[in-house]
Amino acid sequence: MGHMTLVQGDLTKMEVDAIVNAANNSLLGGGGVDGAIHRAGGPAILAECREIRARQGGCPTGEAVVTTAGNMPSRFVIHTVGPVWSGHDKEAKDDLLRNCYKNSLKHAAKINLETIAFPNISTGIYHFPKERAADIAIQAVKEMLEEYKVIKEVIFVCFDNENYDLYQEKLANLSKEV
Ligand code: AR6
């Protein structure tokens, strides 16, 4: 079965089959990791995003779409849209965040990708609480690794120290369970 690993650093530098983008519904780019990905990958990514918009009109929250990674060392970008934390019904937000991880990996498995790197979706500009997001991410990825045998490695790429420390602790606890 595939496994989960952790690194701290810049997602755009990862040499993997796909990196996942924390995008928005428009797919037209933005700040945070989304801005970094479009800058590093170049205009080919936005061109494909525009084609997807023309076909299906953006990307609903919790869903995912796939484009080239342009000039980055990865092959594909899986763009998913996390929930904005503010507002009512926090359980619904949990479900949407869970869907981001699951749908991204479903797309990856469908095109036989083996290594996928995730940022900490929704925990920046969208203000999802980091620990709550980490629990959801790790659980969702664990379930998908059990289901999709083609996926060999999922790498959590943490940018800030707080996320890195959280994932380090949680992944260590998980490996103690088995
Ligand atoms: N590599 C890895 N992680 C990064 C990088 C990087 N280069 N840059 C930031 N992060 P955010 P969101 C981390 O805000 O909360 C955009 O405008 C960051 O520390 O990028 O899902 C979109 O267009 C945080 O832990 O995404 C949307 O409008 C994590 O990436 C909106 O932001 C996610 O933070 C999405 O907000």
The tens digit of pLDDT for each residue in 124-143 reads: 999 999 999 999 999 999 99
User: Predicted confidence band at 178 (pLDDT cuts at 50, 70, 90)?
Assistant: low
Q: Write out the chain in H/E/C secondary structure.
A: CCEEEEEECCHHHCCCCEEEEEECCCCCCCCHHHHHHHHHHCHHHHHHHHHHHHHHCCCCCCCEEEEECCCCCCCEEEEEECCCCCCCCHHHHHHHHHHHHHHHHHHHHHCCCCEEEECCCCCCCCCCCHHHHHHHHHHHHHHHHHHCCCCCEEEEEECCHHHHHHHHHHHHHHHHHC
pTM, two decimals, is 0.98
Looking at ligand 1, which residue's alpha carbon is closest to its atom 28?
24
List pocket residues of ligand 1, CB cut-off 6 Å.
Answer: 10-12, 22-24, 30-34, 36, 82, 119-126, 157, 159-160, 163
pLDDT of residue 61: 98
Cα–Cα–Cα angle for 124, 153, 94, nearest 5°? 40
Residues with a known catalytic role: 34
Q: How far is CA 163 from the centre of its chain?
A: 14
Distance 3 CA to ligand 1 centre (A): 24
Domains in the chain, ordered, with CATH? 3-177 (3.40.220.10)
